[in-house]
Structure formats: C-alpha cells, structure tokens
Structure 1
Amino acid sequence: MSEHPDAALIRRGYEAFGAGDMETMGTLMTADVIHHVPGSNPLSGHHKGRDAVLDLYRRLGEETKGTFRVELHAVLVDGRGHVMAFHTARGDRGDHGIEIQGGLFFTIVGGKISDIDECTQDIDEEDRFWG
C-alpha cells in the first residue's frame, strides 16, 4: 500500500524538523503559510508567512538549547488537502522539562503546507513551560 502524497509531505516535514533542516522545511510550505499556536505564552499566536513560521521553529530549538524533539506517531489524511499528525514533544528549558502529546492539523494547497493548526494535550502545561 503506497502512502498518500499529503501524508508523505508531512512526514518529510517532520523529518526535516527533526534534523533542523529549515531549508527543506521552507520548500514544503507556501509563502503565505500560517502556523497557529494555542495558549498564552511568548510563542502563542498566528505566525504568518514562511519566514515567521521558520523563525518559530528556530526559536523552539533556541529556547530549549537544542533539546526540543518531536516523535511522530501517526499521520491521517482525508484525500481533500487535510492532514492530521499526532506526536509527542519533549524538551528542557532552564530547570523545566516537558513531555506532552500534541497534534497538528495541516491544510495542503498545491502540494505545499498552507495552514497549520496546533493542538496540545495541556495548554496550561505548555504555557508554564514556554512562559
């Protein structure tokens, strides 16, 4: 059974993220991509445009001194340009650590990621960690 192209796109994105390969990440997104981050912390909000989204990802690494990692568990597609990905995120920031379940809901347009809605197991825990 072959993997749907939208699922393969998201897997490539997770692999590039894990490798810190922002150049590849950028090629997978539309120029006007938006990543929506929930909560009330310094990373929360709507990161609009490829550069802003890539800056968000760089910041995840900087804020955790390179300890932030994401383990992908599942990728689900609807065949109409939507993908859900489920993962565990881990990292250390100062004297705080986090291990939390999360998910991303992607919209794919023209074979590229145009919108990313982020969900988390515990918004309050995320706010404490990133705050």
Structure 2
Amino acid sequence: MAEHQNVARIRDGYAAFAKGDFATLNELFAEDLVWHVGGRNQLTKDYRGRDEVYGFFGRLLELTEGSFHLDLHTVFADDEHGVALVATSASRGGKSVRINEAHVYHLRDGKVTEFWDASTDEYALDELLG
C-alpha cells in the first residue's frame, strides 16, 4: 500500500524544522495555524498564525541554548489527521531532558491547521523551561 501524501509532508516538515527551512514550513503550515503548547512553563499558550508559531520556535531554541532537537520515529496520517512519534531532547543551564511525545495534527488540504503534543513527562520540560 502506498504511503499517504500527508505522511511525507509531515516528515518533510520535521526535516525543514531541523534546518530552519521556513519556506518548506510555509508550504506545510496553514496561515491560520493554531499551535497549542501545554504545560506550566513560560511558553505555555496557544500560538495563532505562522508568525506567532515561528516566534515560539525561536524562543524555544533560545531558552534551550540551541539544543532543542526532535528525533522523529514514525508518522501516521490520512486526509485530516496526522500523528508523529518523536523523542524530544533539550538542555538548559546544565540540565537535560529526553522525552517521548506524540505530536497530533489536524490537516486541511495538505496543510497543518492545528497542533497538540502529548508527552510522557510534561513536567520535565516545564522544569527545564521554567
């Protein structure tokens, strides 16, 4: 069975994020994207629109001293939904975390319209970010 096109699009999005390739991310993210960041840390909120989401990415990299990294394990997707299983790692001030997460996407016409993550240890990232 052929891979759904949204699997490749999401996988390509992770590669683009790792390279800071915003042109590719613009092709993946809807302009009215909503990015939900849970937890109880200084970055917790709903980010609306690509510019706010990109600002969140920048702040996350700044707070983690450039160490934030996503190790993509697998992606599942259909026309309207996607799930990526990842390992997130980051360091700050001599402390490090590695957390398994599921990233959940809503898609419309091949573009991500909404994002959530489900973490195996959300408090670890909260403690790291403050």
Q: Which residue is equivalent to 1:90?
A: 89
Report the TM-score, using the length of structure 2 for normalisation: 0.93
Q: Which residue is equivalent to 2:70?
A: 70
Task: State the identity as a percent.
Answer: 33
- Structure 1, unaligned runs of 5 or more: none
Q: How many Å separate the matches in 1 of 2:79 and 2:24?
A: 24
In structure 1, give the amino acid aligned to 2:34: I
Report the TM-score, using the length of structure 1 for normalisation: 0.93
The number of residue pairs the alignment matches comes to 130
Q: Which residue is equivalent to 1:126?
A: 125
Q: How many Å separate the matches in 2 of 1:129 and 1:110?
A: 36
Runs of 4+ in structure 1 over 6 Å off = none
Q: Is the 8 A contact 2:79 2:108 kept in 1?
A: no
In structure 2, give the amino acid aligned to 1:55: G
Q: Is the 8 A contact 2:64 2:129 kept in 1?
A: no
**Deviates most, 112-121 or 18-27:** 18-27
Q: Over residues 14-68 of structure 1, what are the superposed CA-to-partner deviations in whole Å (9 max), with x where a residue is unaligned?
A: 0001112223212211111011111010111111111011111122211122111
- Structure 2, unaligned runs of 5 or more: none
